[in-house]
Amino acid sequence: MREVCIFGVGMTDFGKFQDLPIENLARTALLNAIKDGNVKPKEIGVGYCGNMLAGRVSGLYSCPAEILFEQVGIVGIPIIHVENACCSGSNAFREAWISVASDLYDVAIALGVEKMTGRLPAPLVREKNTMDGAMGLVMPGVWAIRAQKHMEKYGTTIEQLAKISVKNHANGCLNPHSQYKKRITVEEVMNSPMICDPLTMLHMCPIGDGAAAAILCSADIAKRYSQNSIRVSGVSLTSGTYEYLRDFTFHDLEKRAAEEAYEMAGIGPEELDFAEVHDCFTIAEVIRCESLGFCKPGEYPILLDEGKWDLAGDFPINPSGGLLAKGHPVGATGVAQIVEVVQHFRGTAGERQVEGAKVALTHCSGGTYKGDTGACSVVILKK
């Protein structure tokens, strides 16, 4: 496999842009990435678009990827639409990486885009004729169960979970792309509307709109476009096992994905400088960081109290603000995490800059089936 680099990135602000079409979101992210990478659309050999809801929300039932790429002159090449729940964008990135690493193409582009507000409903729950839907096992319910189990097993408190929301909202205030730029307190998290016991509204990420794009090329031609390209060192994708009796406080598919990515990159978790993790709920940040090997099971809340995961701590988690503050336009999230890491490596992350960062990890997991997670993607980047 060839070494692959990222040389161009771009994204939109994340937020609720009810009157803004998905085409506008995609066009902005794509044009920003093309400009950043100093690349011509005709030089791109293949394109992948991660998106979940274009048909249901925006009416793009057929060929959404082709329609979105056409706006910026990316035509006549293989264009692939990738849908894998919250992993859609990160899976589009993985496919773009494979296409270059395999020596099939020299330049590839990954777009992640989602329009979750608008004129049409966007049901994110399973139908009632499935077992999960009939039992009410939708995302807030799944994560509330996981929170209760983690509390029972390790003594984690709801106040500790609230601190994660406080931390990530503080980071989001420093990110110009964030959906929410407002500092909150533990008390505000605790007193926000109850959604699914013990999780209140501010324990959960918002819905919203946004897009992000990344352009990749083989390392041997990277200097043709940029003197500041970023190496893609590890990429993995796993799926769930859907075993009913598994431990709800630990994610095996995330452990497997992390181990595969660490092996590919030739590092261990202790060598990471920071990470962007899929914190769709506060408890998700806990369980996923423990499953990714950042600490032992049950230790994340303890180290949180000590400040390890803070922006000024030893190992910042979600300096972007994470999904809790930056927002979670489903298909855009995975690629936006890549954009965030590139900004830190370039030293352009502003007030949230992780100084001296050279190795970082991004993680996305998505979907639910039999109470398990459908897919998990991990990417390791090196400066």
Report CA-CA distances (Å) from 209 to 148, 150, 197: 31, 31, 27
Choose, from 177, 203, 251, 328, the residue flagged as catalytic.
Answer: 328
Question: How many other C-beta atoms can be found within 10 angstroms of the C-beta atom of residue 299?
Answer: 15
Is-cis flag, bond preceding 64, omega within 30?
Answer: no
Is 86 annotated in the active site? yes
Displacement of CA 333 from its chain's centroid (Å): 4
Q: Which helix (H) or strand (E) holds 140?
A: helix 139-154
Is 328 annotated in the active site? yes
Question: Alpha-carbon torsion 286, 291, 293, 295, what sign?
Answer: positive
Can you point out the beta strands (E) in 83-141? 107-114
Question: How many other C-beta atoms can be found within 10 angstroms of the C-beta atom of residue 105?
Answer: 20
DSSP helix/strand/coil, 335: helix
Q: By the 8 A CB rule, do 318 and 205 touch?
A: no
Choose, from 5, 49, 81, 86, the residue flagged as catalytic.
Answer: 86
Judged by phi (left if over 0) then psi (alpha if -120 to 50, else beta), residue 370 lies in left
Cα–Cα distance, 224 to 242 (Å, whole number): 46
> Tokens representing 120?
């049409």
Within 8 A by CB and 6+ apart from 92, the residues are 48, 49, 50, 80, 82, 110, 111, 112, 331, 334, 335
> Tokens representing 299?
């230790």
DSSP helix/strand/coil, 79: strand
Q: Pseudo-torsion of CA 158, 324, 51, 15, nearest 10°?
A: 140
Residues belonging to the active site: 86, 328
